[in-house]
Structure 1
Amino acid sequence: MQRLLVALLAAFDAAIAAAVGLVVLLAPLTLLWTLAFGITADWGALWPLTGTLWEFGHGVPLAVTIPDELLVALAIPAQAASFAVSITPLAFLLFTLLFAARSGARAAAAGTWLLGVLSGTVVFTAISTAVALTARLDAAQTPLLLAIVLPAAVYFVGALCGAVRVAWEEGDGGILDRLHDRLDVHEDWAPVPAAVVRGAAFALVGVVGTAALALAVMTLFRGGEVVALFQASRVDALGATVMTLAQLVYLPTLIVWAASWLAGPGFAVGVGTAVSPAGTQLGVVPGVPVFGLLPENSSMWMLIVVLVPIAAGAFAGWAVRSRLVWEGTPLGTAQRAVIAVGIAVVTAGVGGIAAVLANGSMGPGRLSEVGPAALPFMLALGLEVLVGAAILLLSPRHRDELAEERTDRWIAEMSELEPSQAPVVPVPGIPLPRAHDQAFDDTAPLDDVRGFRPPTGNRD
C-alpha cells in the first residue's frame, strides 16, 4: 500500500510540474494574444505556440521558417528565411529540475526512491509525448523524438539527483546501502564520494553566485545602453513587455555566459566574435537590449577575474576539509588528492552541460554561433577549481587540526576502556582511591584533604 501511494504521489508531482510549466507560458501568452489580436484572434494557434515554447525551454531546438509574405513585407533576404534557434532559455529547465528533485527527495524519504523516480518520469514522458504530438507549428518546428525525450530526461535527472541525495544519507535498504557497505570496507575511502559531491556543490554555488553578481554590476554600469536599445527598437508597450519577458527567461543563460567570461574563454555573439577578459572583438551586434551589457573593450588586466573560479575551488576545499575535521575523519594525502580532482571533474562536467545548453544558434548567418564554447569552458573551469581546491585540501595540516585529531583519538581510546582499566593520575595532597571503590570514587573533595589551604590574594 505504501509503495502504491508513493508511486501515485510521484506521478502527481510530475503532472503538477508539467502543468505549472505550461500554465506559466499559457497565461501571459493568452493576455498578450488578447491585447494584440483582440477577441476575434485565431485561438487555435495559441496552444501550439505554448507547447513549442515549453519544449524549447527544455533544450529542444527550433527550426524557424519565415513565411513568404512576411519576407516581402519586412524585406528580409531569401537566404535568411530558414534558420535554427537552439540557445535554451534555462529558466524553464531549472524549474523542472528543482521540482523533480523535490519529488525524488520525498520518494526517498518514504523509502521507495526508485519507484518514485520511475513513476514520475513515466508520467512526465507521457505528458511530453502528448505535447509533442498536439503542439505543432509550421513556422517553428521541433524534432519529434527530441521533443519527447529531452523534457523527460530533464525530469528524470532532477528526480534521480534529489532521490539519491536523500537515500545516500538516510539509507534505502537496497542498492545504495550495498554500495555503502562496500565503501565502508575501505574505511579511508568511504567519505570520499560524499566529500566530492559536497565540494562540487560549494564550487558551483561560488561560481554561479559570482557570475550573477558580475551580471548585476554590468547592468548597473551599462543600464543606459540597454535603455537606448529599447528605445531604438521603436516598439510599443506590448512589444516592450514581450521583449522584457523573453530576456527574463534567458537570465540563467546569461549567468552561464558570465561564468564563462570569468573562467577566461568567454563567449561569442556571432561568427568571428569573442567577448573575454583578454579582449573583445565584436562586429555588428543584433539590437537586442540585453546585448547592451556587452563590454566594448577589455584589458589584459581583466584576466585577474580568473581568480574567481580559483577562489571558488579554494572555498570548496576549505568547506570539505573543515567538515572532515569536524566529523573526526581526517584523510590521507591520496584521499584528499582524489577529492580535489573529483570536485574539479564534477564542477567542469556541470559547467560543460550548462555551456552546451547556453550555446548554439539564435538566427541566420553570423548568428549561427552564439554563446560559450563548451570544451574550453569545461577545461578552464575544471583546472581553475582544481588549483583552488588542491591548495586547501593538500596544504600541510595546521597544528590546531592535529591537536584536535589527537584529542579525539585519545577520547575514543579512553571510552573503549573499562572504568577499572582507566589510568589514575596521582595528585599531590589527594590520596589515591582504594582498588574496590576506584570505579566509583573518581574525585575527592578538596575540603577533606588534610593540609589543604586556599590560595591567598598576596602576590610578590
Structure 2
Amino acid sequence: MPIMDLLTDSREEPVSDLEPDVELSRAARVRVLLAAAFGPLVTGYAAVATVLTLVTLTAERTVFSGTGVLLAAGPGWLAAHQVRLGLGGHPLGVLPLLPTLGALALAARTASGAAARLGCRSPREALSVFATITGAHALFGLVIAFCAQGSPVTANPLVAFAVPGLLAAAASAAGIVRCCGLPDVVAERLDPLALRGVRAGALGLAVLVACGAAVFTVATALSWRTVADMYEPAFGSSFGLFLLSVLYLPNAVTAALSFVTGPGFSVGDLTVGMFGYRGGAVPGVPLLGGLPEHHAAWWPALLALPAATGVLVGWSLRKVDADPAQRIRTVAVAGAVVALGCVLLGSLSGGRLGDGPFDPVSVPVGVASVVAFCWIVIPGSFVAFFAGEHEPPAPPEALEDNQAFEDAEEVDVAEAAEAVQELEESEEDEETEDTDEPEEPEEPEAELDADAEFEAEADAELGVEEPADDVPEDAEAVTGGTETCGDVEPAETDR
C-alpha cells in the first residue's frame, strides 16, 4: 500500500489543470504590456490637461471648456516631448524642458516596473517592453499630429512620430538596463579606466549644471525688483507667468551654464557672452528678469567655476592608474562625456520663437561643447598628472615573476660555469695522461757496479768468457731479447 501511494501521489498537476495556468500567464503578460504602453500616455496627457485646466480657471475673461482643454492637451503633450509646433503659421521651437524630463522619468519607471513584473532578467527578455513603450509613444504622437491638422496649433506628423519614439526608447532603455543587470555586464566588458572616465564626466556635467543654476539664482535674486514688476496685479495672469517660468527653468539654467563656460546665449538681438554683450528686447517673463542690461568687467572671474570643475574631475581621477598617460586618457573620456551632455542640453533648450524680435533663442552648441571639453581636460589633466604617481610600481605578480626569472638566470649561469670548469679540468687531465707516459725506474749506479763485479767474479770462477760485443742479430732474435713486459720476471736458464 505505501508503494502504491508513492507511485500515485504526484505533485504535478494534470495537464487539464496546467493549460488554464499557461493561458492566465499569457493574459497577465498582455495586461502588463498594455499597462506599460498606455500608462505613460494617459498619465502624461492627464498632467498636461490638468495644467491647462488650472491656467484656464485662473485666467480672467476666459470661459472654461472641457472639450477645448482636452483638445489643447494633445499639442501640449507633443510640446512636452519636444515636438516643434506651429501657432497660426508661426514656429514654436523653444519648448519647456521640465515636462520633457518628467515624461522621460515616467517612461523609464514604467519600463522598469513592467520588466520586473514580467521577471525579465536580460535585455533580450525585456525587448517586448522596450518595443511596446517606444511604439506606443510614436503612434500616439502620430495620431495627435493627424488630429491637429486644420487647427490653429499644428505639428509635422513625421516629427511627431519620430521624436516621442526616440525619447521613449531612450527612457525605457534606461529603465530596463538597471532592472536586468545590464550595467554590471557592460562594466565587465568595458575598459575600467573608460568606465571611471564616464563616471567622472557625469560628475563634471552635474557640477557645471549646478554652477549654472547658482549663477542664475544669484542673478535673479539681485534683480528681484525687476522680476516683481513683471508680474501683473491679476492673480490669473501672475499665476500663468509663474507657471511658464517654472516650466522653462531648465532652459534658463542651460543658458546660464553656457554663459559660465564662456560662449553665452542669445535671445533675438540680445547676445550675452562672457567677453561680449549686445542689447536687445526680451520677453516680459519673470524668468528673464535677471538678464543684465550691460557688460560687467568682473564677469571673467566666473570662469573660475568651470576651471574648478575641471580640477575636481582631475582630482577624482588622480589614483585611477599609476601611469600618468592612462590618467590623462581617462580625463579625456570625462571631457567627452561633458561635451556630449552640453550638446544635448543646448539642442533641447533653444529653438524658434515665432517670427518676431525674440526669434531665435539659441545656445551655440558647437562652441559650448568644445569649450566645456577644454575646461575639463586642460586643468583636469594637469591635476591628474602631478597629483598622482609618476613611477608606476610593478604589481606583486610581476615582481614575483621577475624574481623567479632572475633566480633562474643565476642558476643557469652557475650551472654553465660549473660545466665549463668541469670541461676544462677534463681537458687538462687528458693532456696530462697523454704527456706523462710511465718510465722505467732507473737503478742507482752504485747498485749496477756491484752487480757487474759480482757477475764478473762468478764468471771467472766458472771459466765463462764474456760474449763479444758484436752479437749477431740472429742470436738476439733466437733468444728473444732480454726485455721485460711490465712486472713479469724473465724465465731462469741453466748456465
Change (3 A) 1:35 1:206: closer
- Contact 2:323 2:389 (8 Å CA) reproduced: no
1:140-196 C-alpha deviation (Å, 9 max, x unpaired) = 21111111211121121122244446644333xxxx59xx45x5xxxxxx2033112
Corresponding position of 1:258: 256
- TM-fit CA distance, 1:269: 1.5
Alpha-carbon distance in structure 1 between the residues aligned to 2:375 and 2:150? 44
Alpha-carbon distance in structure 2 between the residues aligned to 1:364 and 1:257? 21
Alpha-carbon distance in structure 1 between the residues aligned to 2:306 and 2:29? 41
Alpha-carbon distance in structure 2 between the residues aligned to 1:396 and 1:345? 22
Corresponding position of 2:338: 347
Q: Secondary structure of 1:254's partner?
A: helix
Corresponding position of 1:111: 121
Corresponding position of 2:377: 386
Alpha-carbon distance in structure 1 between the residues aligned to 2:211 and 2:132? 37
- Unpaired segments of 5 or more residues in structure 2? 1-21, 401-495
Within 5 Å, give how 1:123-272 maps onto structure 2. Answer: 123-135=136-148, 138-164=151-177, 167-171=181-185, 176=186, 180-181=188-189, 190-231=191-232, 236-271=234-269
- Contact 1:6 1:112 (8 Å CA) reproduced: no
Alpha-carbon distance in structure 1 between the residues aligned to 2:380 and 2:282? 38
Corresponding position of 1:449: none
TM-score, normalised with respect to structure 1: 0.71
Change (3 A) 1:303 1:413: same
Counterpart amino acid of residue 225 in structure 2: G
Change (3 A) 1:331 1:397: closer
**Which of 20, 44, 66 matches 1:21?**
44
Change (3 A) 1:320 1:102: farther
Mean CA deviation greater in 342-351 or 248-257:
342-351
Q: Secondary structure of 1:367's partner?
A: coil
Aligned Cα RMSD in Å? Answer: 3.3
Alpha-carbon distance in structure 1 between the residues aligned to 2:308 and 2:130? 36
- Contact 2:267 2:359 (8 Å CA) reproduced: no
Larger Rg: 2
- TM-fit CA distance, 1:320: 3.8
Alpha-carbon distance in structure 2 between the residues aligned to 1:376 and 1:255? 17
Change (3 A) 1:101 1:203: farther
**Which of 311, 314, 327 matches 2:311?**
314
Alpha-carbon distance in structure 2 between the residues aligned to 1:131 and 1:387? 48
Corresponding position of 1:98: 105
Q: Secondary structure of 1:138's partner?
A: coil
Work out the number of aligned pairs and report it: 370
User: Bigger relative contact order, structure 1 or 2, given CA contacts below 8 A and separation 6+?
Assistant: 1
Alpha-carbon distance in structure 1 between the residues aligned to 2:373 and 2:37? 34
- TM-fit CA distance, 1:377: 1.3
- Unpaired segments of 5 or more residues in structure 1? 66-81, 184-189, 325-329, 415-460
Change (3 A) 1:16 1:387: farther
Alpha-carbon distance in structure 2 between the residues aligned to 1:35 and 1:383? 48
Alpha-carbon distance in structure 2 between the residues aligned to 1:256 and 1:42? 36
- Contact 1:7 1:120 (8 Å CA) reproduced: no
TM-score, normalised with respect to structure 2: 0.66
Counterpart amino acid of residue 206 in structure 1: V
Corresponding position of 2:442: none
Counterpart amino acid of residue 147 in structure 1: A
**Which of 20, 26, 30 matches 2:53?**
30
Q: Secondary structure of 1:293's partner?
A: coil
Alpha-carbon distance in structure 2 between the residues aligned to 1:370 and 1:9? 42
